[in-house]
């Protein structure tokens, strides 16, 4: 009887160890796949105008919400008024991020724009309004909005899974985006000196080309964002500050 009890106790102990190991492995896997919530500030040059880009990634009950807001600064406020605000809510999956809701409001550009898009993955539709007019696109595969694609690229680089092609919902239509790695270099920005990798993406049929110079030590956060149109530099943003969220469950760097 004593021997039987000993065997049962040993068996139960082994099961407990297995369960604990499984829990630890699951927790570790989650930490490795999660993005670090943070805020980042960029100094922006748009032709002769200057501005500031503030970005925030925060965790939610179902994933993440990211907000990007750009405003003119200094003397540029005399030439341009308003702001450009974009928000994306997306879930986190084992294969990356999946957008749920995207909204944008542009009160600074010549052509004012206001958009709200909801991604319905059960029906495979991206539906919403752009400047008051209804829009509908059918999604055959995973698609991203203009904000969530940055975090998808960051996620993919963290896991060595960068693809050559993505699909992006660009205001009123789905477009294939070609992505390529243009090499590594060292850059110096207001936030400091970083080793970076250049990730360039361009939508098919578009004359606009965007390059993210991403720092591996910041989980591939872009420290420089450049936008070219017809091979001419139109926009350049440089990181001036980065702060990981205090309640983040993943390991982040100290504030810059």
What are the domain boundaries of the chain? 35-244
CA dihedral 210, 113, 173, 134 (to 10 degrees): 160
pLDDT tens-digit readout, 64-103: 999 999 998 876 665 567 889 999 999 988 778 999 999 9
DSSP string of the chain, one letter each residue: -HHHHHHHHHHHHHHHHHHHHHHHHHHHHHHHHPPPPEEEEEEEEETTEEEEEEEEEEEETTEEEEEEEEEE-GGGGGT--S-EEEEEEEEEETTEEEEEEEEEEESSSSS-EEEEEEEETTTTEEEEEETTEEEEEE-SS--B-TTHHHHHHHHHHHTT---SEEEEEETTEEEEEEEEEEEEEEEEETTEEEEEEEEEEEETT-SEEEEEEEEGGGTTEEEEEEEEETTEEEEEEEEEEEEE-TT-SS--PPP-
Tens place of pLDDT per residue across the chain (256 aa): 444 444 444 444 433 333 223 333 333 333 445 799 999 999 999 877 889 999 999 999 989 999 999 998 876 665 567 889 999 999 988 778 999 999 999 988 777 789 999 999 999 999 999 999 999 999 988 899 999 999 999 999 998 889 999 999 876 678 899 999 999 999 999 999 999 999 999 988 888 999 999 999 999 999 999 999 988 999 999 999 999 987 544 333 334 5
Backbone φ and ψ for 142, nearest 5 degrees, come out as -60, 130
Residue 145 main-chain phi, psi, to 5 deg: -95, 180
Cα(168)–Cα(145) distance, rounded to whole angstroms? 5
Provide the token pair at 110: 């010549």
pLDDT at res. 20:
29
Per-residue pLDDT reduced to its tens digit, 136-153 = 999 988 899 999 999 999
Model pTM score: 0.80
> 161 vs 36, 94, 95, 146, 194, CA distance in Å?
18, 12, 9, 20, 22
Cβ 121 vs Cβ 98: under 8 Å: yes
Cβ burial of 127 (10 Å; 0-12, 13-18, 19+) is middle
The half-sphere exposure of 9 on its side-chain side, counting CA atoms within 13 A, is 6
Q: What is the CATH number of domain 35-244?
A: 2.50.20
């Amino acid at each position: 009887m004593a021997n039987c009890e000993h065997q049962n106790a040993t068996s139960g102990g082994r099961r407990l160890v297995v369960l604990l190991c499984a829990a630890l492995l699951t927790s570790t896997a989650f930490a490795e796949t999660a993005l670090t919530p943070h805020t980042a500030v960029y100094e922006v040059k748009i032709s002769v105008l200057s501005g500031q880009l503030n970005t925030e990634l925060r965790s939610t009950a179902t994933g993440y919400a990211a907000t990007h807001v750009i405003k003119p600064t200094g003397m540029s406020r005399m030439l341009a008024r308003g702001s450009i605000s974009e928000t994306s809510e997306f879930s986190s999956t084992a294969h990356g991020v999946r957008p749920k809701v995207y909204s944008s409001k542009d009160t600074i550009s010549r052509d004012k724009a206001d958009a709200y898009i909801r991604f319905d993955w059960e029906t495979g539709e991206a539906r919403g309004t752009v400047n008051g007019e209804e829009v509908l696109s059918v999604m055959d595969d995973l698609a991203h909005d203009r904000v969530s694609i940055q975090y998808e690229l960051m996620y993919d680089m963290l896991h060595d899974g960068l693809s050559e092609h993505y699909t992006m919902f660009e205001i009123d239509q789905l477009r294939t985006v070609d992505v390529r790695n243009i090499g590594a270099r060292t850059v110096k920005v207001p936030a400091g000196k970083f080793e970076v990798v250049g990730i360039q993406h361009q939508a098919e049929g578009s004359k606009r080309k965007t390059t993210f110079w991403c720092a591996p030590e910041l989980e591939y956060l872009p420290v420089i964002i450049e936008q070219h149109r017809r091979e001419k530099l139109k926009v350049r943003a440089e990181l001036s500050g980065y702060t990981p969220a205090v309640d983040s469950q993943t390991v982040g760097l100290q504030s810059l």
